[in-house]
Structure 1
């Protein structure tokens, strides 16, 4: 199954010749979480080789235009392409009026597959197929939420222990399904006897925010952290004023939370591709793990599961 981030746009408030407004599709074992579809997302999806049929969740962090003006196009594409599966829409409950405007921004043959999932309060959790989707509040001039995807913890079978206990063939599947098997001699072998814990994988999506408790809670221990780094440290005061992070702050979060792969995005239009080494350099002073500066239409895999 596929677990990767498809980057659709990486600009902040103003798109540039090389960076579209925001848009991020996290593909996860048949689920497709479309985060913050900004203006132009529908076209960017076509350019990236993904379709409306890949989307099972639309997750909006807040209702500034660069994070939501692509909603009408995506909704209408879901309708036009006759997507048959359920599509859930998560967004701040306080922005219900804006959601309704975006959802019905123009005349089209509507669809009934989209279900509203407004978020409010300190923690909101939704079951989402094989994972749980969690929303937590961030710190921005308007109400904003970040999102996190978590696979449940499991267990990894140990071949040597299976052999030692005489477990083979169909019995292995029974052991995994039932949690124990009874051998011919009447002895019972439990799943714990033949396996070790396997932590579930996770990813977090943190957009427009100052440093706050929600940022750290979302990022704690994730395999993949997609986080805004709108400014470099020389503009730290501006970042704080407008409710944004610097690349250095993104690195601090990743280091403190034990993140495995850090993806920097949501870059101010004042920066060009030539500035990417500066973003990596500032984040790397704080974080000793892998750092990616996102570019439109690239794909970033979720790191392989820990051994």
Structure 2
């Protein structure tokens, strides 16, 4: 059975608080584990949230401010210590290559992990296989910053009654899915004859940005948007100056982009509680969730 859920490993902005760790978000998507912005303290947060390094298959870093990447130093070593067998790809802005290399080799350790460096130099598709298309867009922050979108390709759900009607069974089902058609008893069977369209799901990660078109483009029609909401609207001038969003602005992006659910995070330490953040966002958009450290949030159910 597939499992698609977001584990929140940290929700703080630049300064952690007693109850909020630096950033960290793991999206478990069937056999994939997409880790976004591993901040300082990520290893302990993973233990609290019952997440293992072997669950990670790709790491995405939006930019090289410390609260979004300092955890990579320890995590790199932990991946080797745990002897994670599969390759792990790390995507990051190419302009931060120097910082990336420092984090990856910050101290002496026995490096046996299969880490694949994937520097992002421009907007567009950064990964594609038979299941996913992953794109990056440049956001509007004080340093070079990318947001990411994961788009599952459309597929098809096979209908057992139709397969039986056309006498398609066993390995022939796989061949039909792969090739799109099959000859059975002299009759050509198309995959559309025995299946229905299954819409691909999508997720966007927008962290540390002012309001910009790239944020809207990444969020367009996604099932799940993880978005920063560093400030309340009373501090909107400071938000713009420092390259951040208010809760109202984040909710407006989600509403205008037809997002199904938005998860807000990256809160300034000046707000000890998030009640006002939720209230401000909810005044704009109903489908808002304010993240808490170590909680698990299911992906919205697939739309038909």
Question: What is the TM-score with the length of structure 2 in the denominator?
Answer: 0.93
Aligned length in residues: 302
Structure 2 counterpart of 1:292: 289
Distance in 2 between the 1:46 and 1:123 partners?
34
Q: Secondary structure at the match of 2:177?
A: helix
Q: Secondary structure at the match of 2:106?
A: coil
Matched-pair contact (CA < 8 Å) for 1:124–1:136: no
Distance in 2 between the 1:193 and 1:84 partners?
41
Structure 2 counterpart of 1:251: 251
When the two chains are superposed, the root-mean-square deviation of aligned CA atoms in Å is: 1.8
Distance in 2 between the 1:209 and 1:180 partners?
47
Structure 2 counterpart of 1:85: 86
Distance in 1 between the 2:259 and 2:71 partners?
29
Matched-pair contact (CA < 8 Å) for 1:265–1:293: yes
The CA deviation at 1:121 is: 1.4
Distance in 1 between the 2:65 and 2:222 partners?
26
Structure 2 counterpart of 1:277: 275
Distance in 2 between the 1:202 and 1:52 partners?
23
The CA deviation at 1:157 is: 3.7
Distance in 1 between the 2:46 and 2:15 partners?
19
Structure 1 counterpart of 2:205: 205
Distance in 1 between the 2:163 and 2:86 partners?
40
2:72 aligned with 1:71: yes
Matched-pair contact (CA < 8 Å) for 2:83–2:113: no
Distance in 1 between the 2:129 and 2:179 partners?
23
Which residues in structure 2 correspond to 1:107-126 (within 5 Å)?
A: 107-126=108-127
Q: Secondary structure at the match of 2:90?
A: strand
The CA deviation at 1:117 is: 0.2
Q: 1:96 to 1:256 in 2, by over 3 A?
A: same
Distance in 2 between the 1:277 and 1:128 partners?
41
Structure 1 counterpart of 2:26: 25
Distance in 1 between the 2:284 and 2:216 partners?
15
Distance in 2 between the 1:134 and 1:198 partners?
21
The CA deviation at 1:26 is: 1.0
Q: Which runs of 5+ in 2 are unaligned?
A: none
The CA deviation at 1:131 is: 2.2
Once the two structures are superposed, what CA deviation does each residue of 1:202-222 show, in whole Å capped at 9, x if it has no partner? 111110001112101111111
Identify the match of residue 301 of structure 1 among 295, 298, 303: 298
2:227 aligned with 1:216: no
Q: 1:119 to 1:182 in 2, by over 3 A?
A: same
The CA deviation at 1:57 is: 1.3
Structure 2 counterpart of 1:141: 142
Once the two structures are superposed, what CA deviation does each residue of 1:174-215 show, in whole Å capped at 9, x if it has no partner? 43233122232x332211233332210111111000111210
Matched-pair contact (CA < 8 Å) for 1:33–1:58: yes
Which residues in structure 2 correspond to 1:158-173 (within 5 Å)?
A: 158=159, 166-170=166-170, 172-173=173-174
Question: What is the TM-score with the length of structure 1 in the denominator?
Answer: 0.93
